[in-house]
């Protein structure tokens, strides 16, 4: 019997940590810092709990599969049209997430390292993860394993170095909150960081055993990355203060800019941070493109995989190039809140219903 | 020898066929080393011995053709002491003659008797040339498949060591052997390899590396070597016990270890013979050398031309000062020096040892000094290029070293376009490429550390 190419526990851990590393460093801190006047860890913890809930629902859904892929399982249960209806928002979410991610990153590059290089050229870096996505799930996983080792080491070094010149007093309040973030759209916009489990659910075959293991590893990855996420938010706040941090577009990058030690070989740690982020980003973009490819292939079985990936590549590249400013990127993130909430909580419920319907229809057919 | 005589009597003339002697004479018509000697007569018909003078052992032919071989034919034939005796038609006899055997045939018979009297020309077993070690066995494979098989069997005294052999090449008829350890090999890999080898249709084959290319020809072109090419029997035996398959061809002193993953190319056979701590240190050193070799010239380009602010101010100022008066952009300057050092390396490899040291001296010292004084390149770049060249020689596998030499140009190009980000992009592309490669069903990026032996 041929072995299913499911993700191992270590693969899941690596991918989930890479996912958070790709999105937590540059857009996320600004949203969280501006979303509340209280302690920052509370909105983070609330979303972490939300992510655990979402991933648990997904794991229930995946446990129903018997070595199938999620979308293929839903398709087999409710047919092409209904699969299309519940999956189109997911595809649209993936595309917008890719556009935002790519454009945000190239914007960071333009602002910090290559100010004169055209965005259209920088966006061309999409070609590398697109090729990886086309190669399949296991090449992505193998690349993720290597990138994980490199990025984890470098990110830890950067965070440890970032501890210099911090004033703990400026991080206060540490416990108090009035729940103001619940009414702030930026709190909900920051949901994109908690969607790692969704992406891995959409790719590869799943079994009851792999679903349970993946959920456990996702929880472990979440716990491991919480200190990193805290670092991305609290380090700039404890360096520049709350008010100044709110005005910074990229608080953590500004923090990296401010570090200067005679014993550090490099003067500009921002360049190191931006470079490391590229590794994170490539894996996440490849995963998302692969997920799009897998979904479209199920919905349109006759479509050529190369053409699907090429189409997704062109859409993402053109959209990211056509966005006129950073402000638009922020607005898209806010506008797609509903889409993300649908993907995190509603889609898995639909999936459960679809699979239950499919099983019932199967039993009736057998009778 | 009664058997020969009896066999000769059995050689008969087929009514519709052309006599073997005529066919052989025609086939080897323009070969000056071909001999068809009349050695006597049987039943009134002349008996000929056909052979190639260059391949057939003159000592072994002494019983028939020597000065002291007088007497009647049956007496002379009774002195034959060769191993085995086969009867064959023209095609078989032709191949046998080409392999160094002699063919006995009557003037009009359509078949002949093949006497295996080949004398293989081969060198003695020596030390490895491409895989030097200070600790461990010092013998290496040679060009004879039989000798190489013996060397492998001397390492693994077990009946589980199996050998599958076939012949490839419509012209060369090269013997190809596939070795494996029965308890360790993956049966799927074994049958896949046997199928692939059986499917090969080629005129001739000379070396195992060429054989690997043919074996992989149904796949797209790969930059990285997909199998370790080794001349060390100890390495082969270690790989066999790990579950790998070994392919050797007659005429090549290199064995192919299949499948080989990326990290295999960074392990020396010596690693098994020294202290594990030392092994890990050496492994770290090799990977460090790989990174320096790949990225140092690119970092020089990025940090002195695009990301000047990334470096510490003092270093940037020093770099700028060393470039004062250099007329070319950093990229051109670096490219020039990298090509120059590759010229010197290549010249040093190809020339005889006595001359190569002079070339290295002239190229490395004289040219380096002169090029700085002429303000064509900076002092710093000379250090960078020298370090790059040295680290390239730390690469264990020769083929991997060649790939690294190419890759550094690719990364330098990336650095000249987008600085540090260009380097990171190229590195990411490299990892992506490596993660997409599979070697005989095994991912090329399987693990960073070798798996523990399957057989204990």
Give the range among A149-158, B76-85, B281-290 with minimum mean pLDDT: B76-85
In Å, how far is A187's CA from the nearest CA of chain B? Answer: 32
Give the domain ranges of chain B.
Answer: 2-115, 145-260, 282-443
In Å, how far is A82's CA from the nearest CA of chain B? Answer: 35
Asked if residues A98 and A23 have their Cβ atoms less than 8 Å apart, the reply is no
Helix axes A70-112, A305-322, angle to 10 degrees: 40
Extract the tokens encoding B233: 């029997």
Instruction: Convert B243-254 to b/e letters by CB count within 10 Å (16 or more is b).
Output: bbbbbbbbbbbb
Distance CA A228, CA A17 (A): 10
Angle at A197 between CA A191 and CA A203, to 5 degrees: 130
Q: Does A5 have pLDDT greater than 70?
A: no
Determine the length of chain A. 367
3-state DSSP call for residue A115? coil
Dihedral, CA atoms, B235, B237, B241, B243, nearest 10 degrees? 70
3-state DSSP call for residue A309? helix
pLDDT at A367: 64
What value does the CA radius of gyration of chain A take, rounded to a whole number of Å?
21
Instruction: Convert B362-400 to b/e letters by CB count within 10 Å (16 or more is b).
Output: ebbeeebeebbeeebbbebbbebbeebbebbebbbbebb
Could you read off the pLDDT of A171-226 as tens digits, one per residue?
878 888 888 888 888 899 888 889 889 999 998 888 899 999 999 999 999 999 99
Distance CA B40, CA B44 (A): 9
Closest residue in chain A to residue B188, using alpha carbons only: A2
Distance CA A218, CA A51 (A): 10
Asked if residues A347 and A89 have their Cβ atoms less than 8 Å apart, the reply is yes
B309 contacts in A (CB within 8 Å)?
267-268, 271
Q: Does A1 have pLDDT greater than 50?
A: no
pLDDT band at B453 (very low <50, low <70, confident <90, very high): very low
Residues of chain A above pLDDT 70, percent? 98
Q: Does A57 have pLDDT greater than 70?
A: yes
Could you read off the pLDDT of B229-258 as tens digits, one per residue?
999 999 999 999 999 999 999 989 999 999
pLDDT at B132: 81
A139 contacts in B (CB within 8 Å)?
432, 435-436, 443
Beta-carbon contacts of B280 under 8 Å, excluding residues fewer than 6 positions away, are: none
CA distances from B307 to A85, A266, A271 (A): 49, 11, 9
Distance CA A196, CA B391 (A): 40
3-state DSSP call for residue B115? strand
Closest residue in chain B to residue A114, using alpha carbons only: B418
pLDDT band at B403 (very low <50, low <70, confident <90, very high): very high
Extract the tokens encoding B319: 């770099």
The beta-carbon neighbor of A142 closest among B309, B428, B445 is: B445
Residue A147's φ and ψ, nearest 5 degrees, are -60, -35
Dihedral of CA A351/A356/A357/A361: which sign?
A: positive
B429 contacts in A (CB within 8 Å)?
128
3-state DSSP call for residue A111? helix
3-state DSSP call for residue A135? helix
What are the start-end ranges of the E strands in A181-322? 205-206
The beta-carbon neighbor of B421 closest among A113, A138, A149 is: A113
CB contact under 8 A, B419 and A268: no
Asked if residues A298 and A305 have their Cβ atoms less than 8 Å apart, the reply is no
The beta-carbon neighbor of B310 closest among A267, A278, A279 is: A267
Distance CA A199, CA B339 (A): 45
Would an 8 Å CB–CB cutoff place A154 in contact with chain B? no
Would an 8 Å CB–CB cutoff place A146 in contact with chain B? yes
Would an 8 Å CB–CB cutoff place A140 in contact with chain B? yes
In Å, how far is A361's CA from the nearest CA of chain B? Answer: 40
CATH number for the region A9-355 comes to 1.20.1740.10
pLDDT band at B408 (very low <50, low <70, confident <90, very high): very high
CB contact under 8 A, A143 and B445: yes
CA atoms within 13 A on the CB side of B246: 31
Count Cβ atoms within 10 A of the Cβ of residue B339 and give its class: 0-12 exposed, 13-18 middle, 19 or more buried. Answer: exposed
- Looking at residues B115-141, what average pLDDT do you find? 84
3-state helix/strand/coil string of A311-352: HHHHHHHHHHHHCCCHHHHHHHHHHCHHHHHHHHHHHHHHHH
A129 contacts in B (CB within 8 Å)?
432
In Å, how far is B361's CA from the nearest CA of chain A? Answer: 34
pLDDT band at A320 (very low <50, low <70, confident <90, very high): very high
Q: Which residues pair with B438 in a beta bridge?
A: B443
Distance CA A135, CA B412 (A): 26
Distance CA B73, CA B79 (A): 10
Asked if residues A9 and A216 have their Cβ atoms less than 8 Å apart, the reply is yes
- Looking at residues A21-45, what average pLDDT do you find? 87
Angle at B263 between CA B453 and CA B248, to 5 degrees: 70
Asked if residues B414 and A275 have their Cβ atoms less than 8 Å apart, the reply is no
- Looking at residues A54-66, what average pLDDT do you find? 92
3-state DSSP call for residue B394? coil
Could you read off the pLDDT of B26-69 as tens digits, one per residue?
998 888 889 888 888 877 788 888 989 888 877 777 776 665 55
Closest residue in chain A to residue B309, using alpha carbons only: A268
Distance CA B195, CA B189 (A): 10
Distance CA A331, CA A340 (A): 14
The beta-carbon neighbor of B425 closest among A128, A131, A132 is: A128
CB contact under 8 A, A274 and B421: yes
Asked if residues A221 and A17 have their Cβ atoms less than 8 Å apart, the reply is yes
DSSP secondary structure of A53-107: HHHHHHHHHHHT-SSEEHHHHHHHHHHHHHHHHHHHHHHHHHHHHHHHHHHHHHH
Higher confidence at residue B385 or residue B78? B385
Instruction: Specify the DSSP element, H or E, that contains B46.
Output: strand B45-52
DSSP secondary structure of B288-324: HHHHHHHHHHHHHHIIIII-TTTB-HHHHHHHHHHTT
Would an 8 Å CB–CB cutoff place A289 in contact with chain B? no
Beta-carbon contacts of B121 under 8 Å, excluding residues fewer than 6 positions away, are: none
Higher confidence at residue B3 or residue B294? B294
Average pLDDT, chain B: 85
């Amino acid at each position: 019997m041929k072995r299913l190419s499911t993700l191992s526990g270590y693969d899941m851990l690596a991918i989930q940590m890479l996912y958070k590393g790709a999105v937590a460093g540059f857009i996320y801190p600004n949203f969280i810092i501006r979303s509340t006047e209280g302690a920052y860890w509370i909105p983070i913890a609330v979303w972490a709990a939300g992510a655990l809930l979402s991933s648990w629902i997904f794991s229930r859904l995946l446990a129903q599969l018997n070595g199938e892929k999620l979308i293929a399982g839903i398709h087999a249960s409710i047919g092409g049209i209904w699969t299309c209806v519940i999956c189109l928002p997911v595809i649209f979410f993936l595309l917008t997430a890719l556009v935002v991610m790519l454009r945000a990153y190239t914007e960071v590059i333009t602002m910090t390292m290559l100010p004169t290089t055209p965005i259209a050229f920088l966006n061309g870096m999409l070609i590398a993860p697109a090729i990886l996505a086309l190669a399949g799930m296991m090449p992505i996983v193998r690349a993720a394993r290597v990138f994980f080792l490199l990025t984890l080491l470098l990110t830890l070094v950067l965070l440890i170095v970032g501890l210099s010149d911090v004033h703990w007093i400026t991080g206060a309040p540490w416990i108090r909150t009035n729940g103001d973030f619940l009414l702030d759209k930026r709190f909900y916009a920051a949901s994109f960081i908690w969607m790692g489990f969704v992406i891995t659910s959409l790719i590869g075959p799943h079994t009851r055993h792999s679903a349970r293991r993946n959920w456990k590893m996702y929880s472990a990855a979440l716990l491991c990355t919480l200190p990193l996420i805290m670092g991305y938010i609290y380090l700039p706040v404890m360096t520049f203060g709350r008010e100044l941090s709110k005005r910074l577009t990229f608080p953590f990058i500004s923090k990296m800019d401010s570090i200067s030690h005679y014993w550090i070989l490099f003067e500009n740690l921002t360049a190191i941070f931006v470079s490391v982020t590229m590794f994170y980003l490539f894996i996440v973009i490849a995963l998302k493109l692969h997920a799009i490819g897998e979904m479209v292939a199920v919905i349109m079985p006759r479509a050529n995989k190369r053409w699907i990936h090429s189409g997704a590549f062109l859409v993402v590249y053109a959209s990211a190039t056509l966005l006129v400013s950073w402000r638009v990127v922020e607005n898209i993130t806010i506008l797609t809140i509903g889409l993300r909430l649908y993907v995190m909580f509603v889609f898995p419920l639909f999936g459960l219903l679809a699979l239950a319907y499919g099983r019932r229809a199967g039993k009736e057919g057998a009778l | 020898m009664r058997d020969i005589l009896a066999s000769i009597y059995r050689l008969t003339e087929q009514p519709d066929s052309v006599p073997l002697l005529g066919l052989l004479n025609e086939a080897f018509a323009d070969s000056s080393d071909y001999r068809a000697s009349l050695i006597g007569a049987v039943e009134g018909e002349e008996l000929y011995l056909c052979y190639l003078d260059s391949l057939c052992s003159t000592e072994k032919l002494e019983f028939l053709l020597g000065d002291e071989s007088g007497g009647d034919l049956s007496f002379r034939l009774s002195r034959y002491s060769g191993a085995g005796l086969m009867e064959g038609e023209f095609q078989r006899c032709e191949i046998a003659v080409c392999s160094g055997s002699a063919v006995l045939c009557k003037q009009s018979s359509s078949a002949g008797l093949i006497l295996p009297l080949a004398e293989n020309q081969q060198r003695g077993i020596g030390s490895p040339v491409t895989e030097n070690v200070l600790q461990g066995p010092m013998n290496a494979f040679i060009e004879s498949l039989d000798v190489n098989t013996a060397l492998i069997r001397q390492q693994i005294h077990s009946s589980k060591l199996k050998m599958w052999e076939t012949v490839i090449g419509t012209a060369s008829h090269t013997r190809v052997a596939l070795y494996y350890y029965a308890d360790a090999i993956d049966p799927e890999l074994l049958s896949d390899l046997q199928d692939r080898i059986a499917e090969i249709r080629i005129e001739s084959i000379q070396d195992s590396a060429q054989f690997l290319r043919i074996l992989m020809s149904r796949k797209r072109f790969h930059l990285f070597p997909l199998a370790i090419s080794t001349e060390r029997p100890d390495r082969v035996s270690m790989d066999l016990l790990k579950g790998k398959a070994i392919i050797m061809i007659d005429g090549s002193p290199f064995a192919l270890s299949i499948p080989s993953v990326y990290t295999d190319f960074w392990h020396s056979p010596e690693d098994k013979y020294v202290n594990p701590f030392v092994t890990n240190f050496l492994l770290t050193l090799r990977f460090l050398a790989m990174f320096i070799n790949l990225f140092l010239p690119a970092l020089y380009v990025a940090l002195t031309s695009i990301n000047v602010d990334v470096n510490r101010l003092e270093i940037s100022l020093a770099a700028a000062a060393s470039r004062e008066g250099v007329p070319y952009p950093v990229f051109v300057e670096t490219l020039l020096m990298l090509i120059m050092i590759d010229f010197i390396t290549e010249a040093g490899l190809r020339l005889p040892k006595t001359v190569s040291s002079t070339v290295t001296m002239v190229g490395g010292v004289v040219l380096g000094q002169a090029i700085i004084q002429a303000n064509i390149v900076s002092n710093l770049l000379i250090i960078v290029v020298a370090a790059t060249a040295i680290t390239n020689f730390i690469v264990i596998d020769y083929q991997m070293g060649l790939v690294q030499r190419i890759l550094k140009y690719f990364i330098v190009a990336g650095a000249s376009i987008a600085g540090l980000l260009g380097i990171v992009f190229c590195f990411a592309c490299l990892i992506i490429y490596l993660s997409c490669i599979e070697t005989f069903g095994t991912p090329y990026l399987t693990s960073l550390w070798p798996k523990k032996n399957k057989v204990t």
